[in-house]
Chain A
Amino acid sequence: MAPSRAVGVGLNMAGSDMAGTDSGWETVIGLEIHAQLATRSKIFSGSATAYGALPNTQANLVDLGYPGVLPVLNGEAVRMAVCFGLAIGARIAPRSVFARKNYFYPDLPKGYQISQYELPIVAEGVLEVVLDDGVRKRIGITRAHLEEDAGKSLHEGLPGLTGIDLNRAGTPLIEIVSEPDMRSAREAIAYMKKVHTLVRYLGICDGNMQEGSFRCDANVSVRRRGAEQFGTRAEIKNLNSFRFVEKAINFEVERQIELIESGGKVVQETRLYDPDKGETRSMRSKEAANDYRYFPDPDLLPVLLEPAFIEAVRATLPELPDAKAARFVRDHGLSDYDAGVLTASREIAAFYEDVLQRVGSDPKLCANWVMGDFSAFLNRDNLEVGAAKVDAAHLAGLVSRIVDATISGKIAKEIFEAMWESGASADAVIEQKGLRQITDTGAIEAAIDEVMAKNPGQLADYRSGKDKLFGFFVGQVMKATGGKANPAQLNELLKAKLAG
């Protein structure tokens, strides 16, 4: 948790939004996002950080807090934190200090967590989010600091006991503390997704929410619309999915509004979201010991960062999502929405650019295919971009056959499905299934003549003014050609023929 003095100092009040259900109230949300840094070893020891190892097999003497051991800082964790700071345009502290946060808990081996308090490594950044309706909003980031993760408590299978696994203890985290700038769960989710995208772009966090690599605490309060003072906030702990964040915030907002409207008062406390019941409840166990007695950790020296180091890190930054999206809009003529969707994942964006480069034209068509069928199939089969049998060359091959009118868009979907299953190229599937589009005028006219001959009644009705029957004839001709007739040619020829 961040120092309380840092939260509650809201400056960026732009873009207020409707709160939950009752328009007389405004919701105020700040998020504390914990992102595990994707280092090989822990922040203060040489233990592995791999997920899923047998209990306590990745907990060495330092992680266990054995008597006499000392922490030594992992330089890669520092570099990753600096990466993040630069990506949000923040101030990178030339001097930052590790502090001890003292409290007793079984998953906290030393009786204190090494964190940063007064002098965090990253301060004062900002992220712009685009909401569903296209509205842009800037969310202030108060600070981002380095700290160590705690272990895990396991309650199953041990009657009356809790088992402690310290494999996770000492995994590096950056805690990203926002300003209380969000005014709805929707905004909070948009911001959280933006941070999620960013850390994965930077390669500093795998973003795996199921494994707890990316999780957040939400500070939620409500106030009467127009009020200047913030209401009393509750901190909802350990939200590890976007859906839970949304549900927990909405539940909490309603709870607080109901409480105040029925004459009660919100108390400042830590609450836990229960996904089974869909509600938040007070964590009284955490309240008792709320004096963390922060002080500078005497085992660690101040982290001093030279401008040259910071600039060297800056030089390694990839093109960031916002810049990439702006480029897609500018260079490829995509809409803001499409550019946003494509750039939400660095891998998808790279895949799109690869496809586009191979096709050499029609950026919108390429975008539709990447965002549409390709993404849908990835989701369906729960695959990463690189794991699909359809690679950029294959998809580009398919799009190219649409562009050169070898196949229709409709047929292309059928071809894509076959490519997805077999890994074959578009051309191979087209040949194998004989799906090449009919562009020969004579062949299409022959098919039209045949349909007209078979449907004299409809033909008469059409000619007497029933324009709607045009669609009927298109469908019949398509059917007769196995869907392979070039749609534009078909339209043109059919119109002429029907006119008589």
Chain B
Amino acid sequence: MSALPSLPAPTVAGLARGLLNGEYSSVELTRACLDRIAAGQPALNAFVTVTAEGALAAAQAADDARAAGRAGPLTGVPIAHKDIFCTEGVRTTCGSKMLADFVSPYDATVVSGLKAAGTVMLGKLNMDEFAMGSSNETSYFGPVRNPWDPALVPGGSSGGSAAAVAARLVPAATATDTGGSIRQPAALCGVTGIKPTYGRASRYGMIAFASSLDQAGLITVSAEDAALLLGPMSGFDPRDSTSVDSPVPDYMATLGDSLEGLTLGVVREFFDKGLDGDCEQRIREAIAVYERLGAKVREVSCPNLPLSVPTYYVVAPAECSSNLARFDGVRFGHRCDAPRNLADLYSRSRGEGFGAEVKRRIMTGTYVLSAGYFDAYYLKAQRVRQLISADFARAFADCDLLLGPTSPTTAFAIGAKCDDPITMYLNDIYTIGANLAGLPAMSLPCGFAGGLPVGLQLIGPHFSEGRMLNAAHRYQQETDWHLRAPSVWA
């Protein structure tokens, strides 16, 4: 890997400046990315599909647009999409055997928004199957490896997105977060991740896992990059009834605002016995940075937050059991050989097409919705969800943003948590609350523990992305954790 070509700048902001100044063309930049992807793929397995030809054509078109004076701030910037987003004419697998040969006839709204902004798609990123997992080990296309140590998981489900950005194969990637699937891998790979408010970006064309929790977002090197890319992928979409019809603010405009007077709430429940001591130390240090920046820090309590994992493992499987019923081997997707009858077509196509974790969640969800269990599980969980949301609302009465760790530990070994689903599910103990309440949240690199990245989590009230990106950006101006890359990939 000594011959690994390096990118001319680590960030989208830097690359956009280089393109603007004519230091290199988008075609040159795209080639460099494709070279790094080719070199990195055997070690990391971050991509499911690389669209080299399409990328170069799009890069050429971007260069032409620039020559014609029609370039926007992101024209010609190469990015990659999590393979959960439908991309017209390009295989969209969702990390599953079920969709291994599925070519989407349409673009997700997030994809078309970023395309319209001039970005160049490099390919589709690996992920846990149907976004169900916290380690990227459930992908039909094999696990993604952590660029900081290939024996470790990158986190999940957006593990391909996080690993590709961490290894600087791509400057930025789209991702999705249902229970922490952007923030946890961002933390474990030492990159920046943002999950916007539920409804901020359209879910149209994003293959559904749990519809009331799923939200599209980004994995980037810096908060500034997230601010640059978030606008074009956000906003009201008439095709998504749950997307919110309110204007998207100019996130760049407020990025540099002072943090003087900002109140940060440190969530007591996040500092539980499960939190690794070194990780806790890094979070405390980050709090000190914020105090230096003029923020007021106070402790707050969200007493119901410890119930977020069991709540999630009722609500998310319930919705997924229904969302994944459309994969029946009839109109698209895997179909078993020589079905004997209709029942056989269904059960064998689905039994063969879905992996073990997906089947586990479908069965869990089928059970909690079934007659006799609906009230005790599904309705009960939705009531507890209300309590958790109310806890957050109370906290935001006194604070602008909440703060805590993203994940209880740094990256763990591939295979370490595969045997017990509960242990795996508890990885998301600090991230799930924001999904249940629909809140925007971020993870920022805030140092290392045992040589591995640690993530700091920020959570804001609904539609506070601007303030949250501002707080993240100011922190990243004071620190350089986000610019650290694993030495082999630097």
Contacts and interface: CB of A to CB of B under 8 A. Distances in A.
In the complex they form, whether A and B have CB atoms below 8 Å apart is answered with yes
A119 to B, nearest CB: 14
Interface in B330-364: 330-332, 342, 346
B350 to A, nearest CB: 9
Given A67-B99, A110-B325, A295 B106 contact: no
A212 interface: no
Given A72-B238, A109-B331, A67 B212 contact: no
A13 interface: no
Interface string A334-367: 0000000000000000000000000000000000
A66 B332 contact: yes
A203 interface: no
B319 interface: yes
B325 A68 contact: no
B272 to A, nearest CB: 30
Contacts of B413: none
A70 B240 contact: yes
Contacts of B106: 61, 66
Contact of B242 (A61, A69, A102, A299): A299
A48 interface: no
A375 to B, nearest CB: 47
A69 B318 CA distance: 19
Contacts of A299: 208, 211, 241-242
Nearest to A66: B332
Contacts of B203: 68, 70
Contacts of B137: none
A300 B243 CA distance: 10
B207 interface: yes
Contacts, number: 99
Contacts of A70: 203-204, 239-242
A18 interface: no
Contacts of B240: 70, 72
A162 to B, nearest CB: 8
B366 A67 contact: no
A301 B241 CA distance: 7
Of B92, B94, B240, B241, most buried by chain A (CB within 10 Å of CB) is B241
A106 B207 CA distance: 21
Contact of A295 (B208, B322, B325, B328): B322
Interface string A58-95: 00010011111111110000000000000000000000
Nearest to B212: A298
A293 B241 contact: no
A293 B374 contact: yes
A289 to B, nearest CB: 10
Given A67-B92, A68-B108, A293-B369, A111 B207 contact: no
B369 A65 contact: no
Interface residues of B, number: 44
Contacts of B105: 61, 66
Given A61-B105, A67-B86, A68-B86, A111 B322 contact: yes
B102 interface: yes
Interface string B19-46: 0000000000000000000000000000
Contact of A102 (B210, B325, B346): B325
B322 A69 contact: no
Contacts of A162: 342
Contacts of B94: 67
**Chain A interface category by residue count:** 20 to 34
A385 interface: no
Contact of A293 (B102, B108, B366): B366
Interface in B192-207: 203-207
Contact of B322 (A291, A293, A300): A293
A455 to B, nearest CB: 82
A301 B212 CA distance: 10
A143 interface: no
B378 interface: yes
B90 to A, nearest CB: 13
A67 B205 CA distance: 7
B258 interface: no
Given A73-B241, A295-B318, A64 B331 contact: yes
Contacts of B371: 291, 293
A55 to B, nearest CB: 13
Contacts of A110: 325-326
Nearest to B333: A67
A470 interface: no
Question: Which of A112, A291, A295 neighbours the largest number of chain B CB atoms within 10 Å of its CB?
Answer: A295
Nearest to A98: B241
Interface in B229-265: 238-242
Interface in A290-341: 291, 293-295, 298-301
B370 interface: yes
Contacts of B374: 293, 295
Contacts of B206: 68
A301 B325 contact: no
A72 B106 CA distance: 17
Nearest to A295: B369
A100 interface: yes
Contact of B369 (A68, A102, A298): A102
Interface in B103-132: 104-106, 108
**Most interface-central of B324, B331, B370 (chain A CB within 10 A):** B331
A411 interface: no
A112 B322 contact: yes
Given A295-B374, A300-B241, A67 B346 contact: no
A104 interface: yes
Given A67-B99, A69-B205, A111-B322, A293 B346 contact: no
Interface in A248-299: 291, 293-295, 298-299
Nearest to A61: B106
B322 A72 contact: no
A424 interface: no
B261 to A, nearest CB: 36
A295 B328 CA distance: 21
Nearest to B324: A111
Nearest to B84: A68
Contacts of B242: 70, 298-301
B67 to A, nearest CB: 35
Given A61-B105, A72-B239, A104 B322 contact: no
A34 to B, nearest CB: 22
Output the residue of B206, B321, B328, B374 with the most chain A CB within 10 A.
Answer: B328
B241 A164 contact: no
A383 B203 CA distance: 49
Contacts of B322: 100, 102, 111-112, 293, 295
A162 B331 CA distance: 13
A293 B364 CA distance: 13
A300 B324 CA distance: 17
A483 to B, nearest CB: 69
Nearest to A69: B204
Interface of A: 61, 64-73, 100, 102, 104, 106, 109-112, 162, 164, 291, 293-295, 298-301
22 contacts: A66-B106, A67-B86, A67-B208, A68-B205, A70-B239, A70-B241, A72-B238, A100-B322, A102-B321, A102-B322, A109-B330, A109-B331, A111-B322, A111-B324, A111-B325, A112-B322, A291-B370, A293-B369, A294-B369, A295-B369, A298-B242, A299-B242
Interface of B: 85-86, 92, 94, 99, 102, 104-106, 108, 203-208, 210-212, 238-242, 318-319, 321-322, 324-328, 330-332, 342, 346, 366, 369-371, 374, 378
Given A111-B328, A293-B366, A299-B208, 20 more contacts: A64-B331, A65-B326, A65-B331, A66-B326, A66-B332, A67-B92, A67-B207, A68-B86, A68-B205, A68-B207, A69-B205, A72-B238, A72-B241, A102-B322, A102-B369, A106-B330, A109-B331, A162-B342, A298-B211, A301-B241
Closest 9 CB pairs of A and B: A111-B325, A293-B369, A298-B211, A298-B212, A65-B326, A68-B205, A67-B207, A68-B86, A110-B326
